[in-house]
Amino acid sequence: MSAFSDLDASSNAPALLAYLDDTDRGLAAIKAYMAATAQLHAADQPMLDLGCGVGHDLVRLARSGVWPVGLDSSAQALARAKATGHAVVRGDGANLPFASNAFAGCRIERVLQHVTDPGAVLDEVIRVVQPEPDWTMFRVESEVVPDGSLPAKFAAARHPTIGTDVAGLLRSRGCVIDDIVTEKSFGYRLDALPIDAGLVTQRGVDAGALTSQLRHAWLDEQRARDQTGALHATWAKILTVAHVGRSPG
């Protein structure tokens, strides 16, 4: 289970909230596309931001001309989201506290990888939407671990391949895929990666899946690369845009 599966129960909640601020800046380009898509499909209509976090995208959605409603399971995140002035609700994505067909659309970003059952969440999303964003791609160049799989293989996500799986989950539930957009990011500093390399690799040691010796060798290598400007990491971001299909007739 990742810390984001239950942020309020985490001993490091302030750092997790700060991470949401940092990634909001790092994902600015694909978020701009998201806002444009919302404007196209849900202008002047209510739109659910499922897993709204501290509310960055509630502001974006409102600026794009929709009426955003945020839902999150974390009281600490919602305390900040509420300060944006937009409607927020505390709840569970697999049991949404909304009537059927209540929203013109829904955005979900970096949430399905942390939930217990992504399909159950999508079932609920489809219910409340009117008919009408993968760790496996994270690579850090390394001579110590040549396949580049550290530290991503120990990133704490229940569903690390959800970025590529979500389209199939949506299609199997009668949705029509309108667009799939991918964006590749590059990292050149250890402290600019989307995960804490030291924390994540320690998780591998604690689980008995990684030796402490290999962890230290990899970290020493990456710190040296960081100092010389030779560190190189890549990861993909996936945005899937879909709508609920209407039944014939």
pTM here is 0.61
Domain range for 98: 1-130
pLDDT (tens digit per residue) in 80-127 = 999 999 999 999 999 999 988 889 889 998 899 889 999 999 999 999
Cβ contacts of 221 within 8 Å, gap of 6 or more? 142, 143, 144
CA distance 191 to 199: 12
Give residue 38's identity as a one-letter amino acid code. Answer: A
Q: Are residues 148 and 123 in the same domain?
A: no
pLDDT (tens digit per residue) in 171-185 = 998 999 988 888 888
CB atoms within 10 A of CB 15: 12
Residue 223 pLDDT? 95
Find residue 127's DSSP bridge partners: none
Q: Are residues 90 and 137 in the same domain?
A: no
Listed residues 130, 155, 170: the one ending a domain: 130
Ramachandran assignment for 110, one of left (phi > 0), alpha (psi -120 to 50 degrees), beta (any other): left
Q: Are residues 118 and 143 in the same domain?
A: no
CA distance 38 to 132: 13
The alpha carbon of residue 185 and the mean position of all alpha carbons in its chain are separated, in whole angstroms, by: 15
Mean pLDDT (whole number) for 226-235: 93
